[in-house]
Structure 1
Amino acid sequence: MELTLTRTEKTKDYTMGRLEIDGEHFCDTLEPTWRDLGPGRPGHKIAGRTAIPDGRYPVAVTWSPKFKKWLPLLLHVPQFEGIRIHAGNTPDDTEGCILVGLRVKPGKVLDSRLWEHRLVRRLASRPLGEGVWISVG
């Protein structure tokens, strides 16, 4: 299963995007500010206020002790740990994670618990042994 997160708006306060599953639009996303963290690049990570670098990452659905439920976890993200896809509405609800929902205005998504539930259910319904990857950019 292939998730694709296309960042559509990068501002000094937030990053908006759209999430696709196997090429079909699924929902909108919200992340903290995107900073170019690539090798030799001018950006620098600000803890809890920086979106993950562009790239392709494996995804596992694991138990989150913080949220006390099963959530997608991105693996092997350079300079980051514990990056999940979860519910939230504003940049204050994320410390680097990807929030899912419906964009209603710049810097905000709604119905995020519904979209989080739909995403986890969709990932759980994939064939046994099928890997999950997310391409972010």
Structure 2
Amino acid sequence: MELILFRKYHPEGTNGQLFVDGDHLCFTIELPWRNNRRRVSCIPEGTYRLVKRFSKRFSWHLMLENVRGRSLILIHPANNAVEELSGCIAPVTAIAGHGKGYSSKKAFAALKFLVFPILNDSKEVTLKVTS
């Protein structure tokens, strides 16, 4: 399965739309592009393999593998990129501004419902990030 994230960059934050097989799944928010600097920038465009990950902070969530110059790039709930993200991607149900959104937990639940069964079957899920 391939997810495609189409981004729009703004100085205050990055907004996106996430598609699965051509169908819109949700919107996304991220930090602005700041030359891939750790903890202050969204990640470079490219294709990344997704894996399941567990932490006490986020419980079950998704992690992108092999992000150039970065580690622990996650997909997890957040409604304000500047206040809640350190380079990660947050699914949201609606965009509220540049790098801001609504109902992230609801959007993330829909993403997990779609992706986790595929990962549980040991099949590959990739995320293509583009503009």
Tell me if both proteins adopt one fold, taking TM over 0.5 as the criterion: yes
Residue 68 of structure 2 aligns to a residue whose secondary structure is coil
Question: What is the alpha-carbon distance in structure 1 between the residues aligned to residue 37 and residue 24 of structure 2?
Answer: 30
TM-score, reference length from structure 1: 0.85
**SS of 1:84 mapped into structure 2:** strand
Does residue 88 of structure 2 align to residue 97 of structure 1? yes
Q: Secondary structure at the match of 1:53?
A: coil
Aligned residue for 2:112, secondary structure, equals helix
Q: Which amino acid aligns with 2:129?
A: V
One-letter identity of the residue aligned with 1:6: F
Q: Give the corresponding residue for 1:85.
A: 75
Which residues in structure 2 correspond to 1:5-44 (within 5 Å)? 5-8=5-8, 10-35=9-34, 43=35
User: Is the counterpart of residue 136 in structure 1 residue 126 in structure 2?
Assistant: no
DSSP-derived class of the 1:81 partner: coil
- What amino acid is the match of 1:48? R
| Structure 1 residues 13 and 97: alpha-carbon distance in aligned structure 2, compared to 1, 3 A threshold | same
Q: Distance in 2 between matches of 1:124 and 1:47?
A: 27
Deviation at 1:106, TM superposition (A): 3.4
- Over the aligned positions, Cα root-mean-square deviation in angstroms equals 1.5
Higher normalized helix content (fraction of residues): 2
Q: Aligned equivalents of 2:5 and 2:43: distance in 1? A: 11
Amino acid at match of 2:114: R
Show the counterpart of 1:4.
Answer: 4
Letter in structure 2 aligned against 1:16: N
TM norm structure 2: 0.89
Q: State the AA in 1 paired with 2:106.
A: L
> C-alpha distance in 2, partners of 1:124/1:94?
22
Q: Percent identity between the aligned chains?
A: 30
Which stretch has the larger CA shift, 50-59 or 118-127? Answer: 118-127
Question: Which consecutive segments of 4 or more residues in structure 1 shift more than 4 A?
Answer: none
Q: Distance in 2 between matches of 1:28 and 1:83?
A: 18
SS in 2 for 1:34: coil
Give structure 1 stretches of 5+ with no counterpart.
Answer: 36-42
SS of 1:16 mapped into structure 2: strand
Report the equivalent of 2:102.
110
Letter in 2 for 1:79: G
| Match status 1:60 vs 2:59 | no
